[in-house]
Every structure is written in structure tokens, then in C-alpha cells.
Structure 1
Amino acid sequence: MKPIYVLNGPNLNLLGVREPEIYGYDTLADIESRCAALLEDAGHSLVFRQSNHEGQLIDWIQEARTESAALIINPAGYSHTSVALLDALKALSVPIIECHLSNPQTREPFRHHSYVSLAAKGIIAGFGAFGYELAIRAALALLKPAG
């Protein structure tokens, strides 16, 4: 069975210390552990990555096109700026879920638009680190055969 990819954009390596009043105190390693446990229980594996570099994220998205069962992406600041991420995501035929720790709609106006949303099956935002668990559950539900 192909793994579920979880890709994380810029500055998410600083979770737990960067603006914890917005993003919480969980680290990216904490989130990865919980995602891996959920997927293990469901018989899936996890590919969990973070990069501050747009091109690296695009390379991983292109890899996920053939290597993943589903893709969860927290594009962070690239949500609002990257047509290149959108173009890469549009090449995927697997389910794509956009995930945000905070709710961009309650923040600065420039965060209210996400290019990534145009390629996503759904968006989970505003639930902090728990949002990743919701995204994993949503991906698993999308992968279940209809019936």
C-alpha cells in the first residue's frame, strides 16, 4: 500500500517556539509521531517532510504524484503566494488535503486567499496540531472504496 505524504512548508520547523499563541506548543516531531500512529493503525505508512524551500516542496509534490496514496500539505506562507505549488498539485490524481494550524480567515487579509485550495479536495484549518490528525482521518476516508 502506498504511503500518505504530509508535506510542510516554510517555518514549520519552528513549531513549538515560533508564535505559540497562534501555532501552539506542539513540535513538528510531535505531530509526525501522532500521524504515524494513526496511519499504522490503519495499515498505511507515512512520508512526513518539511522544507523552507519552494522548489524542494515542488519536487516532493511531483514525487507524490506516483508514490503516494494521498497528499496532505500545510504550505504555510506559500499558500498565499505560490502559483508554482498549485501547478505541481494540479498534476496529482490522488486526494489532496490542505491543512493549516491557524484559521487564515481570522488573520490578516493577505492570508484569506490560498492558491493551494484550488487543487485541494478539502481544507482543515484552525484546529492547531489536531488538524493534522483530522487531515489523516479525512485522507483515509477518501481512500476507502465506495459502497
Structure 2
Amino acid sequence: MNKAVYNTPPVLYARARVFKGLHWCMVLSEQQIYLVQECYRQVEESPHEFAKHYYGKLFELEPRLQALFRNDLDIQGRKLIAMLEVAVNGVKDMGMLVPMLTQLTQLAHRHNDYNVKKSHFSLLNTALHHAFEQHLQQAYTDEHRQAWQTLLDFMVDTMKPEIIN
């Protein structure tokens, strides 16, 4: 990695490490971290509504996925919000990054039990952006979308190698 870029203050770089065989290097600018946090703060104000938008879109995109959810959707919604919180904390506090990776890996292993497939990740991504758009409306800008996409790509890249199907 270019040391001049690596040492640029406005950019947060997580040094490449090996985590259970996964090499990662996440790049989020300070502005992107702010945008992710800003969205999440608004989601925290009415998490039930956000989860409703998310699961509504997910099941619209692929109705068969509804059978994979064994929990009540209120419980599932709380789990979704908790995972978003882990992700947001992971990018704002480097000390939380390794715990975030651990939780994402454990989440992937649990999703194997539910028969989640790698192909489902694009649907999850679409549903999440839809939920932000519905929940935040005009406040969810292209910059917010790109910041979340960067974080989601990192999360998916962490989880996908652990998914069996």
C-alpha cells in the first residue's frame, strides 16, 4: 500500500490482517464514517419502522425467503438493528473492528443453519438501501448510499467465505 495514502489523516485504513484466513483492508473516509453514523442515529429513533421497510422489500424481492425466518419479525428486526449497530461501532472505533469481524463470522455460520445462500446477499443489500431510502427519504443521499455500500461490501466480503451454499 502506498505509504503516502496510508498516512493521509482524512482516511481511515485498517491495516491488512488475517482473520480466520480472510485478508481484509477496509477503507472508509472520515466523511463516510460520519454519514453511516448519521443514518444509523436516525434509524435508532424508530427501528421498528426501519425493519418493516427492510423485511417488506426483502420479501417482495424474494417471497421464498420468508420461510427462512423462524423468529417473529419484531425479534428479527431487533437483530437487524443490533447488527447495524455492531457495524457502525466497528467503523467508528478501531478497537471494535475485530469484535465486529468475529460477530460477522458467527452470523454467517448461523445463516448456514438457515440455508442462506451467497446469492441472497445482493437481495439483502437492495432491501437495506430501500429501507434507508424509505426511512430517511431525501436525507438518504447518494453520498450516504455510497458510504453504506462501502461498509456493506466489507461486511459481505467477511461473511461470504463462511457461507456454504
The interval holding the TM-score normalised by the smaller chain is 0.3 to 0.5
Which protein is richer in helix relative to its size? 2
Which protein is richer in strand relative to its size? 1
Q: Which structure is larger by alpha-carbon Rg, 1 or 2?
A: 2
